Amino acid sequence: MRIVQKKRKTMSEIRLFYRENNRLKISKDIASLKQISLNNILWIDLNDVPEDAESELEQFLKIYIQEEEEMEEIEISSRYIETEDTLVANSRFLLDNYEEEPISFIVKNNILVSVRSQELRSFNETVKKMFANPRNYPNGYYILVALLETRVEYDADMIEDMTREITKLSNQLKTDDDVSDDILIAIKEMQEKTMLIRENIVDKQRVCSNMLKSELFPGEAKVKLNIIIKDINSLFEHTRFSFDRLEYLQDTFLGLVNIQQNKIIKIFTIVSVIFLPPTLIASMYGMNFDVMPELHWQYGYLWAIGLMIVCVAGILWYFRHKKWL
């Protein structure tokens, strides 16, 4: 079962990043494309833009922008495409609500084109890095690496948040005498979130591995890709550890449930054994026989009550002696 939540609506936005007089600038008007030299354009970010804007960009850059259904294709052949002068990479970025957002990256003539339909913090953070140190981003390939690097950092933050939630659950299991079904539901939800993060990391690893094989990627950018892959491998270990902890918590929860059930059964068993002798005595004297000496005895009633009390006290003493109570 996947965690599905309603997507947030975002406003259509086009951001064009380019260089002018050795300074990084941004434009939000697609018409400015015709006024800027292609050699100065670094990145064109399309966020839920209308089809006519995409068509205009396709004609201007001689590229093909995939539909959302194509971006969501599971087959590896559809996730990464490379020609003589163009690189197309499709990936999925996790939103804060653990919903996956398909992203398409197109690099041609050193210009990066990103296509998405949701607001992403990793994109905004990358923009801040670009304006802070523009020299580190000479073309679209370096910006693409920065976007993946920032996304992996956010994935690491999500794993850390997950680790803290797991620790809280663990402490709750240690302190709660009454084990609630809500804990088991929370464990299942965290298992699902962990699997989503893991699948998302696998997707990033596949994209980075394909880019390392690319002849279009600059050498320095490939060095950074190798670092990203190392970070991804370390995140794999964290997700595996988190999943193992969740399985342990699940086993612990089920063990505590069994202990509680055994305690309840133990109480019912003790009560049944304690009242068994009085019930037997009462049933004996309740039989309709004419000849029963104690029936006409002056102290017969007290004798029966006393016998019941002695039997109960003896059973209680035995249970305490065996430390069953």
State the pairing for strand pair 13-20/86-94: unpaired
- Lowest mean pLDDT across 49-58, 110-119, 129-138: 49-58
Distances in Å between the alpha carbon of 225 and those of 121, 205, 238? 21, 10, 20
pLDDT one-digit tens code per residue, 177-200: 667 778 888 888 888 988 999 988
DSSP annotation of 43: E
Between 122 and 175, whose confidence is greater?
122
Q: Determine the Cα–Cα distance for residues 68 and 51; give it in Å rounded to an integer.
A: 12
Give the Cα-Cα-Cα angle 174, 180, 184 (nearest 5 degrees). Answer: 85
- What the block records as the tokens of 145 is 């690496």
Topology of the domain comprising 263-321 = Methane Monooxygenase Hydroxylase; Chain G, domain 1 (1.20.58)
Q: pLDDT grade, residue 3 (50/70/90)?
A: very low
pLDDT of residue 98 exceeding 90, the answer is no
Other beta carbons within 10 Å of 37 = 9
pLDDT of amino acid 317 = 87
pLDDT of amino acid 75 = 59
Tell if the pTM clears 0.85, that is, is over it. Answer: no
pLDDT one-digit tens code per residue, 29-44: 888 888 888 899 999 9
User: Would the CA dihedral through 133, 134, 135, 139 be positive or negative?
Assistant: positive
Nearest CA to 108 out of 81, 137, 132 is that of: 81
First CA to last CA across the chain, in angstroms?
Answer: 44
pLDDT of residue 252 exceeding 90, the answer is no
pLDDT one-digit tens code per residue, 258-309: 878 888 888 888 888 888 888 888 887 777 777 777 777 777 788 888 888 8
pLDDT of amino acid 71 = 65
Nearest CA to 202 out of 312, 316, 74 is that of: 74
pLDDT of residue 61 exceeding 70, the answer is yes
Boundaries of CATH 3.30.460.20 in the chain? Answer: 13-256
Other beta carbons within 10 Å of 278 = 16
Q: CATH for 13-256?
A: 3.30.460.20
How many Cα atoms within 13 Å fall on the side-chain side of residue 275?
5
pLDDT of amino acid 2 = 42
| Amino acid, single-letter form, for residue 241 | F
Per-residue pLDDT, averaged over 313-317, amounts to 87
Q: Determine the Cα–Cα distance for residues 32 and 153; give it in Å rounded to an integer.
A: 33
Boundaries of CATH 1.20.58.340 in the chain? Answer: 263-321
pLDDT one-digit tens code per residue, 64-91: 887 776 666 655 556 788 888 899 999 9
Nearest CA to 144 out of 69, 86, 62, 185 is that of: 86
- What the block records as the tokens of 32 is 């400015």
